[in-house]
Amino acid sequence: MSESLLDHLATGRPRSDRHITFTRFGGSESLDLRRLQELAGHVAGRLAELGVVRGDRIGIHGSNSLEWVLLDLAALRLGVVTAGLEPEKFRVDPALLARYSLRLLFTDTPVDAPGVHDMAEVRRWLDAGTTPAPVSHRPGDVTTIKFTSGSTGEPKGLAATVGSIESSLRAVQQLFSHGPDDHLFVFLPLSLLQQRYWIYSALLHGHDVTISTHNAVFATLRRAAPSVVMGIPAFYEVMRRRIESLAARISPADPAAALPIAAQRFFGPRIRYLWTGSAPASPATLRFFTDVGLPIFEGYGLNETCIVTKNHPGAWRIGSVGKVVPGKEVLIDAEGVISVRGDHPVNTRYEYGPPGASEEVFGTDGTVRTGDLGYFDDDGFLYIRGRADDVIVLDNARKIVVRPIEERLRECPAVDECVIFCPSRTYLVAVVSAVGRPPDRDAITDWVTRTNATVERDERIAKIVLARERFSVANGQLTAQLKPRRAAILAAHENEVNDRTGVTRAP
């Protein structure tokens, strides 16, 4: 059997001339990768002194930081399971430890309770201490509890296995060949397991990595001068608007000619590629970044599957989510619903979830029914059409897949996000989160009119509802990964959606 990558994280000697940098408002700090590994050993020793042993769980609740990374790497060294708890989803209280069987909980929003530690305490563990010998990892061992973004209720928890993590790390390295010339920029929460992959990659393959907090990303991106940026589609939509605005200031007479210059001012001169996933990206945005010289690669995966498909250098088609990565198999049934089988399943059930949730998603062999609709083209590129749950069945039995229509509406410069509903199963209503305040109603109406002219009659938008406030994580209408929460959006706008006033096509 090949060497365990996670074992190598604890025992290998990473390149000392490569660094990890942490940035937030107020400053940054950087240390070489060997020093990072040494400090993680000190933290592991202190955890052991506190009675933490292999198989125990610790919770980490806080923004991206050196302490976050050290606790995670120390847990890997000890064979301890981490539970990454997003502050936006979880409130720190003593019940949290009992709910998820946590031996200790570390947080940057301290609470005076047994078992709860201030993240700042980790800083006092770094100067000295006994470094315990690293454990060995087996493919079926669990290293972390992943939590789904969820649309309602308490997030489901999933115990991720070593085999699934290592399979994903190997697949990504095979496709992208990260090495000493690379510098990866990460700003999404480290509570999302995939974001920690890039730290593991730095230790395994000897490249630089910068970890930013979300609110410091724009201030630090260009200063970091990365070769690779990891971001969700909403981030790139914002960057596109900023680049277009800067280009118009650089060259008022010909903004298009200045777009590559403006893009480089934001991203720096070293970009090799941009990575995106977790939510559908607008084809127009993908084309924009490609045209300004910043290739952007979209992929597809779920918490329950890890990475499944990915566009990458040499196999890249805008509009698709790429080809199936090594170690994964995609199955599409007669209804177009995607299932995923892996050489190393993440797991075969949820660790935490409502009754019946595991049976609905997981097969006994770990095959995952995703609930997404998709198809392959003749060259093996996968395309996602939407969610099976989001297919609207009209009273004439016509099935409407709303995602392609929503994507067309999102291409309007005045539209930030939109969701389509179908009151009485007779006509479509678009609830639009506008970019500006006040919303540019004329621009949005004109775009909808032009979109309606390109689709069949049943697919036309009969009414536009302008959201009273932009969809956001704070108001509960976006998930932490900035995906729309359809039920929450409908609940906030139900009266306007159901009111037939303004409907342009009578049912």
**What is residue 281's DSSP assignment?**
P
pLDDT in tens, the chain (507 residues): 456 899 988 788 888 899 999 998 768 899 999 999 999 999 999 999 999 999 999 999 999 999 999 999 999 999 999 999 988 888 888 889 999 999 999 999 878 888 999 999 999 999 877 889 999 999 999 999 999 865 455 789 999 999 999 999 999 999 999 999 999 999 999 999 999 999 999 999 999 999 999 888 988 898 899 999 999 988 998 999 999 999 999 999 999 999 999 999 999 999 999 999 888 888 889 999 999 999 999 999 999 999 999 999 999 999 899 999 999 999 999 889 999 999 999 999 999 998 999 999 999 888 999 999 999 999 999 999 888 877 888 888 788 888 888 888 988 989 989 999 988 778 899 999 998 888 899 999 999 999 999 888 888 999 999 998 999 888 888 877 678 888 889 889 988 888 887 777 543
Burial class from Cβ neighbours inside 10 Å (0-12, 13-18, 19+) for residue 438 reads exposed
Beta strands 328-332 and 323-324 are: unpaired
Nearest to 211 by CA among 225, 190, 197: 190
416, burial (CB in 10 Å: exposed 0-12, middle 13-18, buried 19+):
buried
Q: Which of 43, 77, 62 is nearest to 116 (CA)?
A: 62
Q: What is the per-residue burial (b if ≥16 Cβ within 10 Å, else e) of 315-344?
A: ebbbebbbbbbebbebeeeeeebbbbbbeb
Q: How many CB atoms lie within 10 A of CB 126?
A: 17
Which residue type is seen at 272? R
Side chain identity at residue 190, one-letter code: L
Which pLDDT belongs to residue 128? 74
Strands 382-387 and 368-376, how do they pair? Answer: antiparallel
Beta strands in 162-289 (DSSP E): 183-186, 208-212, 228-231, 273-276
Q: Tell me whether residue 456 is exposed, middle or buried, using C-beta atoms within 10 angstroms of its C-beta: 0 to 12, 13 to 18, 19 or more.
A: exposed
Distance CA 83, CA 74 (A): 13
Ranges assigned E (strand) in 343-439: 368-376, 382-387, 391-393, 399-401, 415-421, 428-434
Helix or strand (DSSP H, E) at 160: strand 157-161
Residue 307 burial (C-beta neighbours within 10 Å; 0-12, 13-18, 19+):
buried
Nearest to 345 by CA among 164, 112, 89: 164
On the 0-12 / 13-18 / 19+ scale of CB atoms within 10 A, 127 is exposed
496: helix, strand or coil:
helix
Please check whether residue 298 is in contact with residue 279, taking contact to mean a CB–CB distance below 8 angstroms.
Answer: no
Q: Residue 291: what pLDDT?
A: 94
Contact 58, 83 (CB under 8 A): yes
Structure tokens at 45: 């020793």
**What CA–CA distance (Å, rounded) separates 447 from 435?**
14
* Contact of 285 with 240, CB cutoff 8 Å: yes
pTM of the model: 0.84
Residue 283 Rama label (left phi>0; alpha psi -120 to 50; beta): alpha
d(CA 13, CA 34): 7
Tell me if 411 sits within 8 A of 349, measured CB to CB: no
Q: Which helix (H) or strand (E) holds 143?
A: strand 142-147
Residues in the chain: 507
Residue 214's pLDDT is 85
Q: Measuring CA to CA, which residue among 210, 196, 195 is closest to residue 19?
A: 210
Distance CA 482, CA 335 (A): 28
What type of residue is 378? Answer: D
Contact indicator for 103, 48 with CB cutoff of 8 Å: no
